[in-house]
Amino acid sequence: MVRWRPAFGLLAGLVLAGCGLPMAVAAPPPVAAASATALATPAERPTALPSAALATPRPSATRAPATAGAALTAAVPPASAAPPSSIELLFTGDINPGRCVYAKAKAADDMRLPYLGIAPLLQAADLTIGSLDGAISDYNPPPPCVETHRNLLGPAEMAQGLQFAGYDVITVATNHAKDCGLVRGCQHEALLDTLANLRAAGIAPAGGGRSLAEAMAPALITVHGVRFAFIGVTAVNAPLWAGANTPGVGSFREEDYVAAIQRARELADVVVVLPHWGREFSAEISYQQREAAQAMVAAGAALVVGNHPHRVQGVERFPNGAMAAYALGNFVFDMTWSDGTLFTLQGILLRARFRGAALEGVDLLPIHIYDDFQPRLADAAEAEQILADVAASMTSAPP
């Protein structure tokens, strides 16, 4: 996919106190950027390595071509190796392809509708990665726009919007992966249709397959000579996990995801894990999330980016330079609750900056979901509040 990089607004530096984590928050012009915010980290947190200590793979040297002519005997010095390329990965929060999101898009006869306000930013990244909290299938009609319906099935045409937005990888390992509408009787059809519809749109699915081996296999994409592996798993709704010969999603059993990460390290330069985990509507990071993130990093993951709580949670850096973002909040979702809840209309984009295969840092870009369920960059005041929520979540995290 051809990428282009539009110019965006001012950047305010954001440093994770005690972790040396470089971050930035973007705000759209002409609104001023949110003020820099220090995110407190408990003293018992592991002391992170400074960014300069992150190892960058040494590029192989290229030998200068031999010079013709026997009379030339002087040695020709080898050409200097090109520096590693800069690579940007952009991660978004939960995406609902059905219910009111689809109803609005269908009424406008435009499946691009949810993404129109932010597509240039998504399209600008080298890779854009999302989390599909639902299914994309024509197996049954999609449920109507009713707040009480919890079945998040969207029709196949919703893949058009994801394609327009510029997604390259989407994890299907969520608790709604087999939603198939209000008509009962389906088993695996909606999940298998989702995998096929994403691939038809040129998007690599992660975290789903016809067997456990397929569901745990990484989606592999190479950018500027660096190979990235993406693994999707869910801790929510374990009955959806794939079996040895049963279609399903990526398992959250530690032995399964550790083995998957270790296998992916043999295939790729960078391993990214996309877990669906945590308590719904809670800003608190659970013991399960924290322990799993530590196990994933120990197994070889460079980046862990989670979703499911439908609100933002903390971001941390580990001593070896790996990072975990516990929840990015909602991205395209119809949780405009009648009680005026604000956090379900907020989220963050996480932009991970790599130099070659080395993770240099991340930027947090707060978003707000506006009319027609369209995410756009939040204004300065709201961005500061969202980042404060991220900071508070991390300071209260279990050890």
The answer, yes or no, to whether residue 344 has pLDDT greater than 70, is: yes
**Residue among 348, 386, 343 nearest 367 (CA):** 348
Say if residue 8's pLDDT is above 90.
Answer: no
Which pLDDT does position 147 carry in this prediction?
Answer: 76
Residues 88-133 have pLDDT tens digits of 999 999 999 999 999 999 999 999 999 999 999 999 999 999 999 9
pLDDT tens digit sequence for 387-397: 999 999 999 99
Lowest-confidence segment of 279-288, 306-315, 337-346, 378-387 by average pLDDT? 337-346
Least confident of 56-70, 226-240, 260-274, 278-292: 56-70
Model confidence pLDDT, tens digit, residues 141-196: 999 998 778 899 999 999 999 999 999 999 999 999 999 998 877 899 999 999 99
- Residue 19 is predicted with a pLDDT of 39
Is the pLDDT at 252 greater than 60? The verdict is: yes
Residues 266 and 364: their CA atoms lie apart, in Å, by 30
Which secondary structure element, helix H or strand E, spans residue 293, and what is its range? helix 287-299
How far apart CA 241 and CA 291 sit, in angstroms, is: 20
Separation CA 389–CA 274 (nearest Å): 21
Dist. CA 367–CA 280, nearest whole Å: 19
CATH topology of domain 86-395: Purple Acid Phosphatase; chain A, domain 2 (3.60.21)
Distance, in Å, from the CA atom of 139 to the CA atom of 126, rounded to the nearest integer, reads: 33
Average pLDDT, the chain: 84
- Euclidean distance between CA atoms 330 and 132, whole angstroms: 11
* CA–CA dist 171, 159 (Å, integer): 14
With contact defined as beta carbons under 8 Å apart, do 178 and 240 qualify? yes
